[in-house]
């Protein structure tokens, strides 16, 4: 799979659409020290940032990109266990002492991010209480997100699972459009594509989405 290599200019202003919220919540002097060790990068949809079980060498703070954390199966399939956008960081194991990734990270929606060496974020979290506190708060939120996703997969109908998946990704991007196939959604949910097709048709009949090949639009009246 492809790995991210391109660089891009990235704003650090207070516009909520052009920042990473986790970094923006840090004190100004701490954020400046962290940004000094980071570089802006452009992530492309389909990029694999790291594989499960591998040593983490970099972490990513998404700005406009959205990243799926996926758990690989023995048959080669992958199931999404969480999604990360501008609210967080991809690669929490880097500062928690483990070092190896517990899941794979795949870019779901291309966009901008800050990239930092895993060793740098580990040093900063050790030496700066505000950095460690913010990272731990986010990690707690991420684990809660994973637990809720697991419960959803166990107890909710497939239609509700599809709704949850769509809203989780829309919450982390600008706009109401998703460029993704039903087959890809099925893979992320770990279900058959035919089931996602039935769910999508139901949501379209109810006026909640508009679907065409590789494109889903969540209608504004359906989200209110």
pLDDT for 23? 94
pLDDT at 222 over 80: no
**Which CATH number describes the domain made up of 156-223?**
1.10.10.10
CA-closest candidate to residue 10, choices 60, 84, 69: 60
Q: What single string gives the DSSP state of each residue in 104-151?
A: EEEEEE-EEEEEEEHHHHHHHHHH-HHHHHHHHHHHHHHHHHHHHHHH
Burial class (CB in 10 A: 0-12, 13-18, 19+), 97: exposed
For residues 112-118, give the mean pLDDT. 96
CA-closest candidate to residue 163, choices 79, 219, 104: 219
Residue 60's pLDDT band, with cuts at 50, 70 and 90, is very high
- Greater confidence (162 vs 222) lies with 162
Full-prediction pTM beyond 0.85? Answer: no
pLDDT at 90 over 90: yes
Cα–Cα distance between 100 and 53 in angstroms, integer?
5
Q: How many CA atoms lie within 13 A of 150 on its CB side?
A: 7
pLDDT at 146 over 50: yes
pLDDT at 4 over 50: no
Q: How many helices, marked H, and strands, marked E, lie in the chain?
A: 8, 10
pLDDT at 7 over 80: no
Cα–Cα distance between 14 and 9 in angstroms, integer?
16
Q: What percent of the chain has pLDDT over 90?
A: 44
pLDDT at 96 over 90: no
Decide if 111 contacts 62 (C-beta within 8 A). yes
Partners of residue 70 on adjacent β-strands: 80, 104
pLDDT for 170? 87
pLDDT at 97 over 80: no
- Sketch the domain layout of the chain as residue ranges: 21-148, 156-223
Per DSSP, the three-state class of 158 is helix
Cα–Cα distance between 142 and 84 in angstroms, integer?
8
CATH topology for 21-148 is: Jelly Rolls (2.60.120)
User: What are φ and ψ of residue 199, in 5° steps?
Assistant: -65, -45
pLDDT for 153? 73
Residue 83's pLDDT band, with cuts at 50, 70 and 90, is very high
pLDDT at 10 over 60: no
**77-86, 116-125, 149-158: which has the minimum mean pLDDT?**
149-158
Residue 122's pLDDT band, with cuts at 50, 70 and 90, is very high
Q: Give the CA angle between residues 188, 67, 19 to the nearest 5°.
A: 150
With residue 83 as reference, give the H or E element that holds it: strand 78-84
Cα–Cα distance between 59 and 143 in angstroms, integer?
17
pLDDT at 203 over 60: yes
């Amino acid at each position: 799979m492809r790995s991210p290599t391109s660089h891009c200019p990235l704003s650090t202003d207070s516009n909520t659409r052009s920042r990473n919220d986790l970094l923006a919540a840090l004190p100004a002097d701490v954020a400046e020290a962290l940004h000094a060790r980071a570089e802006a990068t452009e992530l492309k949809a389909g990029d694999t940032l790291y594989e499960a079980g591998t040593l983490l060498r970099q972490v990513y703070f998404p700005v406009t990109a959205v990243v799926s954390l996926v758990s690989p199966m023995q048959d080669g399939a992958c199931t999404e266990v969480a999604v990360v956008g501008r609210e967080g960081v991809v690669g929490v194991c880097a500062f928690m002492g483990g070092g190896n990734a517990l899941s794979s990270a795949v870019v779901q929606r291309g966009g901008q991010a800050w990239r930092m060496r895993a060793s740098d974020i580990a040093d900063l979290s050790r030496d700066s209480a505000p950095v460690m506190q913010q990272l731990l708060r986010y990690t707690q939120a991420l684990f809660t997100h994973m637990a809720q996703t697991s419960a959803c997969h166990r107890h909710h109908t497939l239609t509700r699972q599809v709704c949850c998946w769509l809203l989780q990704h829309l919450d982390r991007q600008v706009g109401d459009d998703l460029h993704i196939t039903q087959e890809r959604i099925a893979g992320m949910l770990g279900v058959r594509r035919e089931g996602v097709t039935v769910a999508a048709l139901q949501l379209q009949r109810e006026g909640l989405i508009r679907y065409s090949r590789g494109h889903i639009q969540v209608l504004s009246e359906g989200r209110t």
